[in-house]
């Protein structure tokens, strides 16, 4: 479980393809001595398991499903990656509850300065857009953001200078793909509304 608060921006050092999957090595400022093999790290929104490590780097295996559903398949050496370590009991919840299970991708449709901030509009599949609500939360490339506007096939956010500086969202230009994770509560509410009502019996 994560919060969508990015704590490091790593850089892809190597990608080795095998059996339709890939092993991805990412350089990081994290203290890797404090990260165990098997630990979960959110990499631009996708929860990946540490399979190898060394001083200032972590390695992850990405299966074909992950490469197909996320933007990881487009990464190359030098790509910048938002990183967040898994939430620990007692940690401050500064963003919102994020699972690291990417639901799909969106595309940057527009960017416009809005005072000190930047307003960014993303276009996405209407099947995902229906889960996004104005003033609700959404994770974009692993960054917890508040939705300022929503339509049938798009939504908008306002990126403050801090977010632009400490995440990869400051690099994104029109046409770039991003990973999207919808709010988990919206997903459960939609499922409950769609499911037929059943009688609950107690003994």
Secondary structure string (H, E, C) spanning 22-78: EEEEEECCCCHHHCCCCCEEEECCEEEEEEEEECCEEEEEECHHHHHHCHHHHCCCC
Q: Among residues 18, 23, 31, which one has the least CA distance to residue 51?
A: 23
- Please, what is the end-to-end C-alpha distance for the chain in angstroms? 34
pLDDT score at 19: 87
State how far the Cα of 203 lies from the Cα of 113, in Å rounded to an integer.
60
Domains (range + CATH), the chain:
8-85 (2.40.30.20), 104-191 (2.40.30.20)
DSSP state of 186: H
| pLDDT over 60 at 203, yes or no | no
Predicted confidence (pLDDT) per residue in 174-189, tens digit: 999 999 999 877 766 7
| Rounded distance between C-alpha atoms, residue 157 and residue 34, angstroms | 34
Q: Tell me what pLDDT residue 202 has.
A: 54
CB 156 within 8 A of CB 147: yes
């Amino acid at each position: 479980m994560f919060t969508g608060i990015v704590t490091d921006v790593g850089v892809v050092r190597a990608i080795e393809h095998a059996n339709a999957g890939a092993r991805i090595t990412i350089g990081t400022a994290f203290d890797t001595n404090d990260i165990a093999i098997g630990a979960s790290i959110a990499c631009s929104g996708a929860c990946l398991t540490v399979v190898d490590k060394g001083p200032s780097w972590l390695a992850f295996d990405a299966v074909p499903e992950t490469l197909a559903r996320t933007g990881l398949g487009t990464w190359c050496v030098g790509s910048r990656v938002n990183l967040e370590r898994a939430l620990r009991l007692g940690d401050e919840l500064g963003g919102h509850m994020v699972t690291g299970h990417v639901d799909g991708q969106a595309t940057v449709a527009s960017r416009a300065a809005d005072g000190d901030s930047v307003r960014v509009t993303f276009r996405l599949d209407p099947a995902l857009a229906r889960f996004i609500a104005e003033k609700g939360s959404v994770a974009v490339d692993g960054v917890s953001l508040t939705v300022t506007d929503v339509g049938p096939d798009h939504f908008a956010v306002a990126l403050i200078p801090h977010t632009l500086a400490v995440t990869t969202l400051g690099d994104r230009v029109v046409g770039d793909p991003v990973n999207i994770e919808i709010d988990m509560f919206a997903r459960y509410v939609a499922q409950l509304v769609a499911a037929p009502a059943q009688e609950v019996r107690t003994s």
